[in-house]
């Protein structure tokens, strides 16, 4: 008799899943300040909560495809509802895009370091991730990305502003990549939080291989309700609609997103909290001798803490022991780096206090 494992398709048997341990840990330790997952420190607005509660009364009904929401989102960038697909978070979108374009043993080009989900979902779907390191200054290596493309390349993943480096890909460089004609996922998950938000959605008309990703998880603070979306050419959307599971986004998530889009005052409050917190964090971190905070257009700051001479995971464990949870960035040549999510003013001060204590300990041992 065969083992149960032998029935599993090889690429799933061999794939490691995206580790959710950090979230398990955070939920089990609510006393530890969570600054590890680029969540918004503020809860959804009262208007959003009212919408969620009211919609729950219709919870016996299946949702539609969110036509009203797609129309509003499309019009925001000069497109239509037919240029928008909704996902159960943009992670769902990432997955059904992979399912649509990538067959087992096809290649997927990914600029790294970046959001690790592109790589893990590529593997789970049988694709081969081709990781292209950014340059030493953390700018995309456009030449290397273009050279990494082969006849087996079916998808390219780019993220701007990039998680975790916080910087933006210039339009000329993106155009060079789009000119290859390969479906290219441009992740604008942090678009609304940039100092000067700038979208590449206009490139869809010129390059129909452009797919622009967005989410309600960051600027709109709906990470727990799960809703994201992508803009693309109508033909691309029609293929994605075949692949995605019907009713993948709940009625509640759709109504929360509509209410969040309407609540401009709350959007401004959240944006102000993140932008001010980000400036404060960068300023203060750069005052710590030997530490470096990278300028960021996301709700996070990448920190070079390699002066401490410890691996990233150890730095994170020491911060957890002091009551604050941030993310280790040990992979992709970032050993000794950590990433902190911008929190509330109190959370930011708490984190700086704890990081300062680590720095002081280090100085004392020199």
Ligand X SMILES: Cc1ncc(COP(=O)(O)O)c(C=O)c1O
Binding site for ligand X (CB under 6 A): 38, 89-91, 115, 159, 163, 187, 189, 215, 217, 223, 228
Structure tokens at 270: 């959240």
- State the Cα–Cα distance between residues 163 and 115, nearest whole angstrom: 6
Question: Taking the complex as a whole, how short is the minimal distance between the CB of residue 185 and ligand X, in angstroms?
Answer: 10
Question: Taking the complex as a whole, how short is the minimal distance between the CB of residue 129 and ligand X, in angstroms?
Answer: 16
Closer to ligand X by CB, 215 or 312: give it.
Answer: 215
- State the Cα–Cα distance between residues 340 and 300, nearest whole angstrom: 5
Strands across the sheet with 327-328, in order? 292-293, 300-304, 337-341, 327-328
Closer to ligand X by CB, 253 or 315: give it.
Answer: 253
- State the Cα–Cα distance between residues 36 and 162, nearest whole angstrom: 16
Closer to ligand X by CB, 190 or 362: give it.
Answer: 190
Question: Taking the complex as a whole, how short is the minimal distance between the CB of residue 66 and ligand X, in angstroms?
Answer: 15
Closer to ligand X by CB, 215 or 296: give it.
Answer: 215
Question: Taking the complex as a whole, how short is the minimal distance between the CB of residue 217 and ligand X, in angstroms?
Answer: 3
Closer to ligand X by CB, 223 or 340: give it.
Answer: 223
Structure tokens at 29: 């330790």
> What residue is closest to ligand X based on CB?
89
Closer to ligand X by CB, 187 or 263: give it.
Answer: 187
Closest CA to 43 of 249, 297, 220: 220
Question: Taking the complex as a whole, how short is the minimal distance between the CB of residue 335 and ligand X, in angstroms?
Answer: 21
Question: Taking the complex as a whole, how short is the minimal distance between the CB of residue 61 and ligand X, in angstroms?
Answer: 24
Question: Taking the complex as a whole, how short is the minimal distance between the CB of residue 361 and ligand X, in angstroms?
Answer: 31
Question: Taking the complex as a whole, how short is the minimal distance between the CB of residue 6 and ligand X, in angstroms?
Answer: 32
Residues in Cβ contact with 164 at an 8 Å cutoff, skipping those fewer than 6 apart: 113, 114, 300, 302, 327, 329, 334, 339
b/e per residue 38-68 (b: at least 16 CB within 10 A): bbbbeebbebbeebbeebeeeeeeebebbee
- State the Cα–Cα distance between residues 112 and 125, nearest whole angstrom: 19
Residue 87 contacts residue 66 (beta carbons within 8 Å): no
Closer to ligand X by CB, 118 or 362: give it.
Answer: 118
Question: Taking the complex as a whole, how short is the minimal distance between the CB of residue 257 and ligand X, in angstroms?
Answer: 11
Dihedral angle of Cα 128, 122, 337, 335, to the nearest 10 degrees: -30
Closer to ligand X by CB, 55 or 215: give it.
Answer: 215
What is the C-alpha radius of gyration for the chain, rounded to an integer number of angstroms? 21
Counts for the chain of helices (H) and strands (E), in that order: 14, 13
Closer to ligand X by CB, 120 or 217: give it.
Answer: 217
Q: Is the peptide bond before 164 cis (omega within 30 degrees of 0)?
A: yes
- State the Cα–Cα distance between residues 139 and 136, nearest whole angstrom: 7
Segment (H or E) for 88: none
- State the Cα–Cα distance between residues 137 and 160, nearest whole angstrom: 16
- State the Cα–Cα distance between residues 212 and 11, nearest whole angstrom: 27
Question: Taking the complex as a whole, how short is the minimal distance between the CB of residue 48 and ligand X, in angstroms?
Answer: 16
- State the Cα–Cα distance between residues 108 and 129, nearest whole angstrom: 5
Closer to ligand X by CB, 45 or 90: give it.
Answer: 90
């Amino acid at each position: 008799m065969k083992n149960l494992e032998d029935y599993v398709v090889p690429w799933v048997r061999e794939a490691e899943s995206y580790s959710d341990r950090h979230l398990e840990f955070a939920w089990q330790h609510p006393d530890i300040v969570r600054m590890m997952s680029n969540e918004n420190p503020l809860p959804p607005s009262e208007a959003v909560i009212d919408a969620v509660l009211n919609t729950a009364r219709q919870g016996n009904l299946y949702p539609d495809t969110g036509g009203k929401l797609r129309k509003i989102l499309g019009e925001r960038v000069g497109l239509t509802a037919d240029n928008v697909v909704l996902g159960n978070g943009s992670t769902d979108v990432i997955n059904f895009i992979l399912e649509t374009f990538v067959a087992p043993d096809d290649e997927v080009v990914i600029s790294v370091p970046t959001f690790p989900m592109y790589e893990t979902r590529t593997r789970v779907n049988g694709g081969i991730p081709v990781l292209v390191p950014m340059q030493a200054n953390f700018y995309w290596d456009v030449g290397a990305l273009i050279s990494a493309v082969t006849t087996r390349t079916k998808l390219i993943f780019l993220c701007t502003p990039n998680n975790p480096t916080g910087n933006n890909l210039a339009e000329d460089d993106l155009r060079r990549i789009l000119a290859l004609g390969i479906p290219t996922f441009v992740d604008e998950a942090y678009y609304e939080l940039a100092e000067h938000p700038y979208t590449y959605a206009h490139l869809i008309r010129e390059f129909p291989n452009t797919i622009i990703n967005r989410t309600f998880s960051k600027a709109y603070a709906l990470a727990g309700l799960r809703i994201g979306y992508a803009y693309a050419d109508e033909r691309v959307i029609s293929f994605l609609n075949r692949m995605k599971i019907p009713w993948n986004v709940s009625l509640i998530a759709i109504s929360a997103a509509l209410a969040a889009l309407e609540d401009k005052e709350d959007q401004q409050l959240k944006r102000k909290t993140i932008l001010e917190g980000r400036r404060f964090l960068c300023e203060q971190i750069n005052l710590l001798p030997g530490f470096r905070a990278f300028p960021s257009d996301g709700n996070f700051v990448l920190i070079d803490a390699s002066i401490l001479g410890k691996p990233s995971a150890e730095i994170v464990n020491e911060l957890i022991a002091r009551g604050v949870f941030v993310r280790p960035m040990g992979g992709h040549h970032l050993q000794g780096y950590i990433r902190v999510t911008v929190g509330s003013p109190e959370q930011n001060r708490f984190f700086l206090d704890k990081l300062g204590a680590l720095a002081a300990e280090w100085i004392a041992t020199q």
